[in-house]
Chain A
Amino acid sequence: MRNSSLFFLSILSEAVLLGALLLHASFSETTQRGILEHKTMLVKNLRLTDLCLFTEARYTRHLSQADLNTAFQDHPLSLEHFPSGSFTEPNLHNDIP
């Protein structure tokens, strides 16, 4: 087989594979919709406010509920020492007067 044919064949197969993955994405979105709705209902029922992603320190677990001076919560002079805290942007400015 010619080199060019091999190249086009490999690009075509990669494009088909990517297309299949995109189809997988769209199908999973449909099938996961039910689970997403249930998660939303659980959040609604339990009145949850945050994702359970950064659990190493109590002030990173509920980021949206944390104090505005979260970074120095342990002690006014202590520097941030939890990795999540240093990866997390400071809480947003509260627009409410």
Chain B
Amino acid sequence: MTVWIEKQRYIIDFTISSLLRRKVKNIGLLALYTLIVFILASTMFFTYSIKKEAKLILQGSPEIVVQKIVAGRHDLFPVSYIDEIKAIRGVADVESRLWGYYYDSLVQANYTLLTPSKPIDESTSKARTTVVVDPHDPRAADVNKPLYDYDGAAPEAGTLIIGNGVARMREIGPGDYMPFMAFDGQIMNLKVAGTLASESELVSSDLILVNGQDFRKLFGIDDKWITDVIVTVKNPSEIATVAGKIKKKLHDSRPIIRDEILRTYDSIFNWRGGMMIVVFSAAVLAFVIFAWDKASGLSAGERREIGILKAVGWETGDVIQMKFWEGAMVSLTAYFSGVILAYIHVFFTGSAVFEPALKGWSALYPNFALTPFVNAEQLTTLFFLTVVPYTVATIVPIWRAATIDPDSAMRHTGE
């Protein structure tokens, strides 16, 4: 065993010095290879983490949302429909929702205005930070400060609670006033009562929570109308049945169930991940051609080198082992470096490379740190996508070259 290990080490020593003789070409190949692994791994980490986070967070979203549809577009929902939905067997509760968009021409951003309903769980406001602080440090964090500033209660009339993205962009905070132009052209000045925590930006960055009266005054919506309703079902296995019944009873309605919301996000990120790979596919393809050419097409110098090795007593098996180590060394180094860089890129720098594509033209983009969800399956898939094909590609053509006669290999130096 020791003899075998020593032999492999000598082969590796020789392979490294052989690779270093063509330094520029091999370092270029390694850098390109690492870049490709980095892009693939970043896409994989990002899409998987955001899909998982969306799935976890959106578990809290409503079981069924019912919209009213007029000419294919969603329209205001008549309050009178609520009783009709309540009468359906299996429905536990029906709640109205008031929400809409407000375009702020000053910063050219769309806000989501929302009127909070009654809080479901009051425990959210009791969450406390557990940081040990120096009592003499005036800049230290307040240990008694709630982790979330917002406790779920509706804001009072004339006040609003803003998402952290809005606060950051408008550079405002509690106590400041925010002007809105109502539907009739009148200016409404609403006082900022609080901000939503920055940790929740992924869902709340553009939110503005307002009182129901202010909402109706701002958009000119009569009491007879709401935006849509949320239906809670007694038995979770009956959600689809209840949604079907709603559709049957109210022909102009469109029920959206939670599963559809989750599936929408699942497919969006599959699509986005796919798009990312399509965008980078030209680079991947160029690399594949380059790597294939490098790995399979032996240069005259390499052919001569094999000839000399065979002439000095190397066996075919030894030459193949040498080429195996060459492929394994390049691909393993690229794999590890690429994956490490991708992890740092996605989870420490906030996916700086992908941000422009995700951002689109939005002026109001959330600052969020993804929870690193990485599993063995992703790493194994990457390994089999990158290391294995390259290593195999280096061995197969060498088989032919290694079996030729050393004399003829050395003679064909000019080809």
Residue of A nearest to B73 (CB): A67
Known: A4-B13, A89-B268. A50 touches B56 (CB 8 A): no
| Residues of B close to A40: CB separation below 8 A | 56-57, 59-60
Contact among B97, B240, B265, B343 with A95 in the assembled complex (CB-CB below 8 Å): B240
Which residue, B165, B200, B363, has most C-beta atoms of chain A within 10 A?
A: B200
- The 8 Å CB contact of B271, one of A22, A36, A89, is A89
In the complex, chain B residues whose CB is within 8 Å of the CB of A87: 271-272, 275, 357, 360
Cα–Cα distance between A49 and B66 once the two chains are bound (Å): 12
**Minimum CB distance partner of A52 in chain B:** B205
Asked whether A58 and B110 contact (CB < 8 A) given A40-B60, A97-B248, the answer is yes
B110 and A46 contacting across the interface, CB-CB below 8 Å: no
| Contact A55-B110, Cβ < 8 Å, known A4-B12, A36-B371 | yes
Contact B247 A51 (CB under 8 A): no
A95 / chain B contacts, CB cutoff of 8 Å: 240, 260
B-contact 0/1 string along A13-34, CB 8 Å cutoff: 0110110011011001100101
Among residues of B, the one whose C-beta sits closest to the C-beta of A36 is B56
Verify B340–A68 contact, CB threshold 8 A: no
Q: What residues of chain B have their CB less than 8 Å away from a CB belonging to chain A?
A: 8-10, 12-13, 16-17, 53-54, 56-62, 65, 67, 69, 72-74, 95, 97, 101, 103, 109-110, 112, 114, 116-117, 119-121, 123-124, 127, 147-148, 150, 152, 163, 165, 196-197, 199-207, 209, 228, 230, 240, 243-244, 247-248, 254-257, 260-261, 263-265, 267-268, 271-272, 275, 329, 332-333, 336-337, 339-340, 343-344, 347, 357-358, 360-366, 371-374
User: What would 12 A/B residue contacts be, using CB atoms closer than 8 Å?
Assistant: A4-B12, A22-B374, A29-B373, A38-B200, A46-B207, A49-B261, A50-B261, A54-B358, A58-B101, A65-B74, A87-B275, A89-B271
- A contacts, CB < 8 Å to B: 2-7, 10-11, 14-15, 17-18, 21-22, 24-25, 28-29, 32, 34-36, 38-58, 60-65, 67-69, 73, 82-84, 87-89, 91-92, 94-97
